[in-house]
Structure 1
Amino acid sequence: MKKKVTAVFDIGKTNKKFFLFDKDFQEVYREYTRFENIKDEDGYPTEDLERLKTWLKEVFDRILDAKEYNITAINFSSYGASLVHLDENDEVVTPLYNYTKEISQEIIDSFYEKYGPKLDFALATGSPVSGLLNSGIQLYWLKHTKPEIFKRIKYSLHLPQYLSFIFTGIPVSEHTSIGCHTALWDYNKKDYHDWVYKEGIYKILPKIVSTETSINMNYNGKRIKIGVGIHDSSAALLPYVRSVRKKFILVSTGTWSITMNPFSEEALKDSDIDKNCINYMRINGKAVKASSLFLGNEYKEQVKMLSEHFQVSSEYHKTIRFNHDIYLEIIKDFEYMYRWVSISDERMPESTKIPYDNYEHAYHQLVVELVLLQVECIKTVSGKDNIERLYIDGGFTDNDVYIQLISHYLRNMRLSTTDSSLGSALGAALCISDVRLNSKFLRKNYALKKHVPFIIQ
């Protein structure tokens, strides 16, 4: 008898993952791949959409024919701030523009001259000025710099919804993708911002459906429930919201480290915007106060530099465990030593200086400085809420130095970590199920570990 499973594609900028979960949401199968980037018309690196589409179909068709599994449902989680533009023949019109690509300052200035002031706009949309990280700005940029291309667009889909579209052919929009720092949504009005209507952008944004929507389809002769996709950060949050009864903060780590407070009732304030606070959206449309930090990207760049400096393997950092004595030496006369390449911080020096003669000390110094930034994000999104529970998931849960330091600097919070690879995928699977979760879910499905602060000597 074939095992009934839910399939999930979890598409990150680096890793493309495929999972199967059984009825108890236990992982029964996974596979990963990576693709080289291609270049857009300006030579800027971007996702190879055609290769991604081919891989999605190949994997799904192969598993569909597998003797041991009966796929009853499929859903998709992926990164945000990325749009796929389709013409009337459902052909992709432009490259998937990378959200780190810079666009003309004139375009950004002209937008805020029309629809600012910047601070008021950021407060309403939960979207500080961030160029193409505000995916709505991409639509404005296309309309005003590439009008002939813009005229060809029938639908613009956020990436999670495009992944679903590949299998259903049905274009939709949903709240979690619209609500993630896109500059499209007015959180006060609970509708698209006025500019979306004034510019006519709403005409190419498909109908909004619930994130929990699924489309029952006959796919290759099999009846399957196909989800509409979900933004990965909102997906990572979902299992916690559904299973944890007390208020908590979730830090979802990876290329970006996203700190989320799904219980904040306060609207964003000027001081929040100054600290890079943004809004995400839960599947029910409720705002999530969040702070983003380019933690994984910065870590990758700095570790690469350290490997070259000390002439060690690029994988050596994975072997380092927290060393209490090294930490005490570092904080005795603490000073900032690293100049970030992708994070802005007024305390960083003009250039990186490494006075240590061994990798371990330099590495501990690096993680201390990154953790201090992370702790600020956690305190910012906590606001006045007296929240005692802190969950961390994603890649940094495997980093002993990072976890020990977080536990130390936030001694008033009860820190738990969860499995490093399942967060977004499991959230996407849950999203299209009607299963009620209990408090044991995280321990059973997420390899929940509790951490206590180290003793200060």
Structure 2
Amino acid sequence: MQGTPVIAVFDVGKTNKKLFLFDENYRIVFERAARFIETVDEDGDSCENLESLRLSVFDSLHEVFRRQEFDVKAVNFSSYGASFVYLNKDGRPLTPLYNYLKTYPEELKKQFYDTYGGEDKLSKETASPVLGSLNSGMQLYRIKQEKPELYNQIAYALHLPQYMSYLITGKCFSDITSIGCHTNLWDFQKNDYHEWVRKEGIIDKLAPIAPSDEVVPAAFPGNSYKVGIGLHDSSAALIPYLVNFQKPFVLISTGTWCISLNPFNTTPLTDMELQQDCLSFMQYKGKPVKASRFFGGHEHEQQVKRIADHFNQSPVRYKSVPFDPEIISRLQGERPQAGRGRAKESLLQDSTFGQRDLSSFATDIEAYHQFILDLVTQQVASTQLVLEGADVKRIFVDGGFSKNAVYMNLLASLYPDKEVFAASMAQATAIGTAMAIHKHWNTKPMPNDIIELKYYAVTHDAKL
């Protein structure tokens, strides 16, 4: 008896590594998760355990192929960006998987930007804020300058999703969603590698670019399944929305970072936007997506702990606080609000609530409402950076804050001219990764009902 046709998707985050099997209706029919203990590089800095990851991919596939209830038609991969695996001519990694938070030498950074026209010019051309090791092209430049013998042994530098695909196919490719994600490698104005990549000879270390929706035959034992070349996770998470909604929208993806994504804004980044942590990356069809971000989820974690400690409550209490418009009206009448008299740059970098005196609040719920009001004011300042220049009527929020009634009601009230929705979809990144190669494994039409939307109407008056 033939098993259920499925696609296997490896979704590799910094903390959790997951394998999903999706059937042709994009329902999860199997999942497996793993966490690996980090190792250290030659400088003692923590980094991903590449060998554990490699073995986990092989073990997981062996397990899946043993299960006769599934017929694996394809495999694809998504992962965080900014991490290169450096392969020698035999296809073996030469170095640890360096952490993208690894400190970058200031002198070397100055040398690079001085050579190629300065930070402002290069950042604008590559749509990459100056982020050190988080600009993955800078990692290659560093190896060339500091370890020329190692550099000469590199046959290919593969971003992590493409390395995982290589493990199964034995073929090396580059992918535009990884290249286009704040790497310093891609010139968005010329739609080609930046001139420095050729001048430094870095281009010789980069594999040929393949389309994100392309598949190649597998070399790993199994049936005659096909393998995608992998995607950057932010680009993958956007795919279900691009498939389901044709009218312009902004997606606010909320987690540790609150990232506003506008795939319909094609205006070039300005100096001011770059200074406020705006960037562009590529969606899977090769078009730029303008993005802005602030540390909203991290701030929520810190301030909730502060409120809970002050009022002697459990932080769990704030996971489902009902929205109270009367509290908001009272707070706005009594207190200076976050956006008044403050420059946008300052608003995004500093927490207004962090400076507020908690003893001035009558209750912890009142303090929490003020905190979310301050946070949403920051959110609007961040989102406005990508809204301008595009006629967007819909805002979708996914991730943690989509379930926060106070946040969602306040966001709707501050965007009265737009439709604001909480969007929920299990495993958006993994589903997007499967959708990217839909035509190669799935006999059914692309689904249009996998995103659940909850509309938030404007029921009260809140102003910045």
Regarding TM over 0.5, the answer is yes
Counterparts of 1:190 and 1:201 in 2: how far apart (Å)? 17
Task: Give unmatched runs, 5+ long, in structure 1.
Answer: 338-342
Greater mean deviation of Cα atoms: 423-432 or 45-54: 45-54
Identity score, percent: 38
2:58 matches 1:57: yes
The Cα of 1:271 is off from its aligned counterpart by: 2.7
3-state secondary structure, aligned to 1:219: coil
The Cα of 1:413 is off from its aligned counterpart by: 1.2
Counterparts of 2:141 and 2:247 in 1: how far apart (Å)? 41
The Cα of 1:263 is off from its aligned counterpart by: 1.4
Change (3 A) 1:286 1:324: same
Alignment-derived partner of residue 408 in structure 2: 403
Change (3 A) 1:7 1:306: farther
The Cα of 1:144 is off from its aligned counterpart by: 1.6
3-state secondary structure, aligned to 2:424: coil
Change (3 A) 1:311 1:55: farther
Greater mean deviation of Cα atoms: 378-387 or 252-261: 252-261
2:380 matches 1:379: no
Length-normalised TM-score, structure 1: 0.90
Length-normalised TM-score, structure 2: 0.89
Counterpart of 1:95 in structure 2: which amino acid? P
The Cα of 1:359 is off from its aligned counterpart by: 4.0
The Cα of 1:169 is off from its aligned counterpart by: 2.0
Change (3 A) 1:94 1:330: farther
Counterpart of 2:208 in structure 1: which amino acid? K
Pick one of 333, 336, 341 that aligns with 1:334: 336
2:435 matches 1:430: yes
Alignment-derived partner of residue 251 in structure 2: 250
Counterpart of 2:246 in structure 1: which amino acid? R
Counterparts of 2:13 and 2:356 in 1: how far apart (Å)? 30
Change (3 A) 1:62 1:129: same
Alignment-derived partner of residue 10 in structure 2: 9
Paired residues of 1:393 and 1:419 also in contact (CA < 8 A)? yes
Counterpart of 1:345 in structure 2: which amino acid? Q
3-state secondary structure, aligned to 1:266: coil
The Cα of 1:151 is off from its aligned counterpart by: 2.8
2:445 matches 1:445: no
Counterpart of 1:55 in structure 2: which amino acid? S
3-state secondary structure, aligned to 2:261: strand
Counterparts of 1:431 and 1:387 in 2: how far apart (Å)? 24
Change (3 A) 1:8 1:395: farther
Counterpart of 2:104 in structure 1: which amino acid? I
Greater mean deviation of Cα atoms: 292-301 or 61-70: 292-301
Task: Give unmatched runs, 5+ long, in structure 2.
Answer: 340-346
The Cα of 1:167 is off from its aligned counterpart by: 1.6
Question: What does 1:110-125 align with in structure 2 at a 5 Å threshold?
Answer: 110-125=111-126
Counterparts of 2:104 and 2:411 in 1: how far apart (Å)? 36
Counterpart of 2:54 in structure 1: which amino acid? K
Greater mean deviation of Cα atoms: 212-221 or 310-319: 310-319
Alignment-derived partner of residue 340 in structure 1: none
Change (3 A) 1:88 1:315: farther
3-state secondary structure, aligned to 1:7: strand
Paired residues of 1:115 and 1:121 also in contact (CA < 8 A)? yes
Alignment-derived partner of residue 260 in structure 2: 259
Counterparts of 2:356 and 2:45 in 1: how far apart (Å)? 27
Alignment-derived partner of residue 242 in structure 2: 241
Counterparts of 2:27 and 2:366 in 1: how far apart (Å)? 39
Alignment-derived partner of residue 45 in structure 1: 46
Alignment coverage as a number of residue pairs? 450
Alignment-derived partner of residue 142 in structure 1: 143
Alignment-derived partner of residue 349 in structure 2: 345
The Cα of 1:273 is off from its aligned counterpart by: 1.8
Counterparts of 1:181 and 1:256 in 2: how far apart (Å)? 16
Alignment-derived partner of residue 418 in structure 1: 423
The Cα of 1:68 is off from its aligned counterpart by: 1.8
The Cα of 1:351 is off from its aligned counterpart by: 5.7
Counterparts of 1:6 and 1:163 in 2: how far apart (Å)? 16
Paired residues of 1:242 and 1:436 also in contact (CA < 8 A)? no
Alignment-derived partner of residue 388 in structure 1: 393
Greater mean deviation of Cα atoms: 219-228 or 92-101: 92-101
Pick one of 368, 374, 389 that aligns with 1:369: 374
Counterparts of 2:278 and 2:25 in 1: how far apart (Å)? 35
The Cα of 1:437 is off from its aligned counterpart by: 9.9
Alignment-derived partner of residue 231 in structure 2: 230
Change (3 A) 1:4 1:378: same
Greater mean deviation of Cα atoms: 319-328 or 247-256: 319-328
Paired residues of 2:8 and 2:74 also in contact (CA < 8 A)? yes
Question: What does 1:6-405 align with in structure 2 at a 5 Å threshold?
Answer: 6-217=7-218, 219-313=220-314, 315-332=316-333, 333-335=335-337, 345=349, 348=352, 353-355=357-359, 356=361, 358-405=363-410
Greater mean deviation of Cα atoms: 421-430 or 255-264: 255-264
3-state secondary structure, aligned to 2:390: coil
Change (3 A) 1:335 1:407: closer
The Cα of 1:352 is off from its aligned counterpart by: 6.7
Counterparts of 2:44 and 2:309 in 1: how far apart (Å)? 28
Counterparts of 1:359 and 1:43 in 2: how far apart (Å)? 43
Counterparts of 1:23 and 1:347 in 2: how far apart (Å)? 45
Counterpart of 2:90 in structure 1: which amino acid? N
3-state secondary structure, aligned to 1:156: strand
3-state secondary structure, aligned to 1:418: strand
Report Cα offsets for 1:394-444 as digits up to 9, x if no partner.
Answer: 233223332222222222111223225421111110101127998x945x2
Counterpart of 2:244 in structure 1: which amino acid? S
Paired residues of 2:259 and 2:294 also in contact (CA < 8 A)? yes
> Please, what is the CA RMSD of the aligned residues?
2.7
Counterparts of 1:451 and 1:372 in 2: how far apart (Å)? 17
Counterparts of 2:312 and 2:89 in 1: how far apart (Å)? 54
The Cα of 1:308 is off from its aligned counterpart by: 4.9
Counterparts of 2:134 and 2:362 in 1: how far apart (Å)? 39
Counterpart of 2:209 in structure 1: which amino acid? I
Paired residues of 1:83 and 1:158 also in contact (CA < 8 A)? yes
Change (3 A) 1:219 1:196: same
Change (3 A) 1:83 1:400: farther
Paired residues of 1:396 and 1:420 also in contact (CA < 8 A)? no
Change (3 A) 1:436 1:256: farther
3-state secondary structure, aligned to 1:448: strand
The Cα of 1:58 is off from its aligned counterpart by: 2.1
Report Cα offsets for 1:208-250 as digits up to 9, x if no partner.
Answer: 1111111122532311111100111111111222221211111
Counterpart of 1:263 in structure 2: which amino acid? F
Change (3 A) 1:160 1:185: same
Paired residues of 2:169 and 2:217 also in contact (CA < 8 A)? no
